[in-house]
A = this chain, B = another copy of it.
Amino acid sequence: MAEIKSAFNASCRNCGLQKVCFPTGLVKSDIDRLDQVVDRKPPLKKNQYLFKSGEAFTSLFAIRAGVIKLYSFSEMGEEIIHGFYLPGDVLGVDALASKEHKLNAVAIDNVSVCALPFDQLTDLSLQIPSLNQQIMMVMSKEVNEGRSHSEMLIKRNADQRVAQFIWSMAERYRVRGYVCDEFRLNILHRDVAVHLGLTPETVSRILAKLHSENIVTWKKKEVKIYNEEALRIAAGGVCEEVEGFA
């Protein structure tokens, strides 16, 4: 029982995501204090919601496993997909200002998360300055991520967007220690299209092209990168390591 618990409910100290997730830069004793605040939630199944627009904000969430899609609707009822969140990513900062979620977070996978009750987190962060820094870090990263997304939408054409999306997913998996030239990606092509400001048809055509050029394939949720360098070029020549939320 204790072993099952540790596998599914690893403490922050034992968690493999420590370097990617919230506790980055905290000393061990502080991680333990944070650990006592963390509320490990039962896993979400595919299509279950972590939170919905309109709900009260109570916690930040750190993803332990699976992928979360963050989205909302425009005034005209169109779906806006703001990003896809991977293990180690933190979710919920958008609601900090209003104390009410404005977005929907849905599992596209089986997902398990750690909830960080915000009241307790703020109390603790007043005692642990570096934790406070950490929260700001997460938010600052999210701001910068938004900027990258806008930049892509403004400056990249359809081919570059798709290439960059795949490249950045690979990069994010690499950072997390997965093999990055061949990985499972449960995201619908349709959702990628929406996220990138394109149509599913366009994405399909570009994937076909990337396939015919032996750069990358993405069939049946399975991404395989055959020519990383060509992919990088196709993405518009990315060189910095991005730790973004695609």
Judge whether B137 and A96 touch: CB under 8 Å: yes
Judge whether B140 and A74 touch: CB under 8 Å: no
Residues of B close to A142: CB separation below 8 A: 143
Residues of B close to A80: CB separation below 8 A: 147, 150-151, 154-155
Judge whether B129 and A129 touch: CB under 8 Å: no
Does A153 touch B at the CB level, under 8 Å?
yes
Judge whether B75 and A153 touch: CB under 8 Å: no
Residues of B close to A98: CB separation below 8 A: 140
How does the 8 Å CB contact mask read for A182-211 relative to B, with 1 for contact and 0 for none? 000000000000100100000000000000
Copies of this chain, whole number: 2
Does A7 touch B at the CB level, under 8 Å?
no
Judge whether A197 and B154 touch: CB under 8 Å: yes
Does A82 touch B at the CB level, under 8 Å?
yes
Judge whether B153 and A197 touch: CB under 8 Å: yes
Judge whether B137 and A75 touch: CB under 8 Å: no
Residues of B close to A94: CB separation below 8 A: 140, 143-144, 147
| Total residues of chain A contacting the partner, CB 8 A | 44
How does the 8 Å CB contact mask read for A219-246 relative to B, with 1 for contact and 0 for none? 0000000000000000011110000000
Chain A, range 8-59, C-beta contacts under 8 Å to B: none
Does A175 touch B at the CB level, under 8 Å?
no
Residues of B close to A78: CB separation below 8 A: 155
Residues of B close to A176: CB separation below 8 A: none
Q: How far is the CB of A139 from chain B (nearest CB, A)?
A: 4
Residues of B close to A137: CB separation below 8 A: 96-97
| A96-B150 contact, Cβ under 8 Å, with A76-B236, A76-B237 | no
The 3 tightest CB contacts between A and B, nearest first, are A146-B146, A97-B140, A154-B197
Given contacts A76-B236, A96-B139, 16 further A-B contacts (CB under 8 A): A74-B151, A74-B155, A76-B237, A80-B147, A80-B154, A93-B139, A93-B140, A93-B143, A95-B140, A97-B136, A97-B137, A139-B143, A146-B146, A146-B147, A153-B154, A154-B194
